Structure 1
Amino acid sequence: MNDSPGWATPGSSPSDGERPGAPADQPAQPAQPAADPRWSAQQPPPGQWQSPAPQTPPPPQPGGQGWGQQPGTPYGGQYGYPAGPGQWGQWKPPAAKPGVIPLRPLGLGEILDGAVATMRTHWRSVLPITLVVATAVQVVSLLAQKYAMADLALTSDTGADAETSLNNLGTTLTLLGATLFITALGSLVATAMLTMIYSRAVLGTPSTVATAWREARPQLLRLLGLTLLLGIGGILLFVVLLLPGILGTSPGLIILGAVASIPLIVWLAIKFILASPALMLEKSTVFKSLTRSSKLVKGTWWRIFGITALTSIITGIVSAIIVWPLTIVGMVAFGGGLTGIENGTASTAWGALIFSGIGAIIAQTITMPIQSGVTVLLYVDQRIRREGLDLELARAAGVENYGTTGG
């Protein structure tokens, strides 16, 4: 199977001494004696040197091998196109691109560009999802910061009685737990819906929020189970590695276990990073999605780790550029200025918290779809490389003759 359409005409080339289109009963012209290859026998008058007129290839004709390509003829082997004898190399037309990415193995720039292009092209579907989720998360986070920090300050006060300290600590833990729950739930819903939007964007198909929700809803419970399994697994792994130091009351072993857990948790996180898009797009179960992710990542762990890490760095820088200026303005304007920053009251002032929350909402609205999009496109890229998913995507996008013509 060829990767690109050929540009050669069907049939064989005319024989020596024959002219294309000449009648069959017309005798062939006698062969001319060979000229001296070093110099032409007859030269045109001065001023009449002309470059040969370029030969224009006929339009490709469907059918046969490639687009009417002669068997055994390399692409562009006629009409002076590259890949002919003595030419520079084989010419191939660009891959089909029905949506935000070309249907072929992707590079780093194409993955990042595809994530940003989806957010830019389908912003009516992407931004409302991330805006709602970011707003809900930041409202709960703002309340937790406002009251939990105040309660922690009271709890640390040596003059407070035990009952008051216990009540304040309970309130703090409740607010922090609510913040973590809302954050996890919002990220879960956003990831599920954004996965569906990106899967349609690859095909060049528009999406709506209602469509994304309808397609993602049947898998939400399984996605929740996958998220809990990965989270609990990471916590258990961390505790197991700390356990020898805790049982032996050895600070050195505790530190060693904590340090050893970091690379192991990162390795497992990358190994199973494609489980979420596999679960959503293949409609599989939790354990099958983990197996699929492990299979797709195998042999390319460092590449996926590098792309994921670079994406995190980029989104972190973007978030810092947005959040920190607003946070500083809020603390200076509404937190008592430098005095409030020094004594720590500026960080819990309403004005500072609101400004910081607004910055976080804007940052999450922008960066969340980029992170989700990179993960989905990594999944698509790995399936194209290993399983030829581009053929199915081309058929789903309505690209004609893809696979037999090189798309």
Structure 2
Amino acid sequence: MNDTPGWASPGSAPSGAKEPDSSGAPEPADQDGGTPPEQPSKWSKEQPPPGQWSAPGAQTPAQAPPPAAPGWGGRPPGGGHGGWNGPGPGGPAGWGSQWGARPAAAKPGVIPLRPLGVGEILDGAVSTMRGHWRTVLGISLAVAVVTQVAVILLQGFVLDDSASTEVLNDPSASLDELTRAMGDTLLGSGLVLLVTLLGTIVATALLTSVTSRAVIGKPVTTGEAWRDARPQLAGLFGLTLLLPLIAVAVLGAGAAPGLLVVAVGQNEAGAALAVLGAFAAGFVALWLMIRFSLASPALMLEKQGIMKSMRRSAKLVRGSWWRVFGIQLLATIIANIVASIIVIPFAVLAAALSGDGFAGFLDSSGGDLGWIFLIVSGIGSVIGSMITFPITAGVTVLLYIDRRIRREALDLDLARAAGLQGYGGETSGATLGS
């Protein structure tokens, strides 16, 4: 019988001696000069049945090995395993009714500490907004108000869309006039986009800190979120600008061959080639954007640079591109639908209260919509942003955490950070925000 850790057969023969046979007497050794006299046996002739035999000197209760967890690694009564129903009424609650069902995961915060499903990710983002509503809505409201006020002031004082709109709608306008009007329109749209982008970056940075702490059940104030996020704002701004530039560069590279064909005089063939090239490049750009979509939480929580955070995102998304794409698309659709339910009534009300009425709002040649329209529609945009900011930022952060749980067992470190004693043993891994 072979020795096993923590257990040894009684009366084990010394090295080089023969093991006793099943009757308890040692086998005689072959020696020259005859058979040696039989030695008295040290074994009792009355042995317990083999199935009930145990080593003498039984372990004390303090030395007894801990019992195996029900349903994990042990054998069910009777030696079989099919159809065993796990622990009885006194067993842990939440276990499955079949052999090998896993126990319910700990949930110190807004998500259970295990790989997440789609519904759990969406519910976690909403639960963060509901459970920490003062901080979340305070951040979203402050950022949305500042952003929208800046946009209204730009549109009211700096940007004059009426002149550009009239020129663009005038069929007799010269090429110079059209070029100037198009440039003014693009400049105005770029300024508005830049202001909105800055607000989105700040909101994303602050809400990332809030969501990461909500996962382990710890509250965070707006001031604490700002102190955590402020050192990474410059990197997040650079990342947010770099990703669209990459997408534009990919689209330009796809359309470039067709544009070159147009330049040599083959207009129809070149236009068709440019469209097909841009269409194919669009799929490449989309693949890259999803591949780098987790770079923002990686940059904020792991305190990494722009390029390292992009490589980190690519590593986490690898092998799960379609899942990440589907969840983010679903979250974006839900957030935009909810925001539209709020924004559209305010836009209709703004059009009704403005000087030209609703008919003027539908007339695209009107150009100048007036202060009343800008203010009322801006209020609707603020309320819509208060909902979209937490949902989109929360889903991205929880996707990042889910990918790290699946690849790096981050749940063990999250449990220790939440103060759960003995969760998952002493295994150490990468920590959130390390």
TM-score by length of 2: 0.71
Q: Is the 8 A contact 1:145 1:348 kept in 2?
A: no
Instruction: Give 2:413's aligned amino acid.
Output: E
Residue correspondence of structure 1 range 48-63 to structure 2 within 5 A: none
Structure 2 segments unaligned to the other structure (5+ residues): 1-64, 77-83, 263-269, 428-434
Change beyond 3 A, Cα 1:65–1:143: farther
Partner of 2:353: 333
- Give the alignment's Cα RMSD to 1 decimal: 3.2
On the 8 A contact 1:151/1:171 being kept in 2, the answer is: no
CA 1:79–1:109: 2 relative to 1, 3 Å: closer
Distance 2:255 2:197 in 1: 25
Instruction: Give the Cα–Cα distance (whole angstroms) in 1 for the partners of residues 87 and 143 of structure 2.
Output: 58
Report the CA distance shift for 1:169/1:306 in structure 2 as closer, same or farther (over 3 A): closer
Q: Does 1:208 align with 2:227?
A: no
Within the alignment, does 1:233 sit opposite 2:246 as a pair? yes
Q: Which of 261, 275, 281 lines up with 2:295 in the alignment?
A: 275
Which ranges in structure 1 are unaligned for 5 or more consecutive residues?
1-62
- Counterpart residue number, 2:26: none
After TM superposition, where is structure 1 displaced by more than 4 Å over at least 4 residues in a row?
Answer: 65-71, 73-83, 143-146, 157-174
Cα displacement (A) at 1:224: 2.0
Does 2:281 correspond to 1:261? yes
Matched, 1:150 2:150: no
Summarize the Cα distance change of 1:77–1:365 in structure 2 as closer, same or farther, 3 Å threshold: closer
User: Whose Rg is larger?
Assistant: 2
Give 2:191's aligned residue: 178
For 1:139, the equivalent position in structure 2 comes to 149
Q: CA deviation at 1:312?
A: 1.0
What SS does structure 1 have at the residue aligned with 2:113? coil
Measure the CA separation in 1 of the matches of 2:72 and 2:109.
Answer: 32
2:71 and 2:179 mapped to 1: Cα distance?
A: 81
* Cα distance in structure 2, aligned partners of 1:76 and 1:404: 26
Quick check: 1:387 aligned with 2:408?
yes
Greater mean alpha carbon deviation, residues 339-348 or residues 232-241: 339-348
> How many Å separate the matches in 2 of 1:373 and 1:111?
8
Deviation at 1:292, TM superposition (A): 1.2
Distance 1:260 1:361 in 2: 36
Structure 1, residues 357-398: CA drift from partner, whole Å, max 9, x if none? 111111111111100000000000011111100000000110
Q: Which amino acid in structure 2 is aligned with residue 390 of structure 1?
A: D
1-structure distance, mates of 2:399, 2:409: 14
Q: Report the Cα distance in structure 2 between the residues aligned to 1:78 and 1:231, rounded to whole angstroms.
A: 55
Q: What one-letter code is carried by the residue in structure 2 that aligns with 1:219?
A: Q
Per-residue CA distance 1:239-271 (angstroms, 9 max, x = gap): 111111212112112221222222211111111
Write the distance in 2 (CA, Å) between the matches of 1:218 and 1:126: 20
**Structure 1 pair 214–164 and aligned structure 2 pair: CA distance change class (3 A):** same
- 1:57 maps to none
Q: Contact between 2:160 and 2:368, CA under 8 Å: does it hold in 1?
A: no
Counterpart among 105, 122, 127 of residue 117 in structure 1: 127
Distance (whole Å) between structure 2 residues aligned to residue 105 and residue 70 of structure 1: 19
Q: Distance in 2 between matches of 1:79 and 1:160?
A: 85
Whether the 8 Å contact between 1:203 and 1:393 is mirrored in structure 2 is: yes
Counterpart contact for 1:151–1:172, Cα < 8 Å: no
Distance change in 2, residues 1:224/1:339 (3 Å): closer
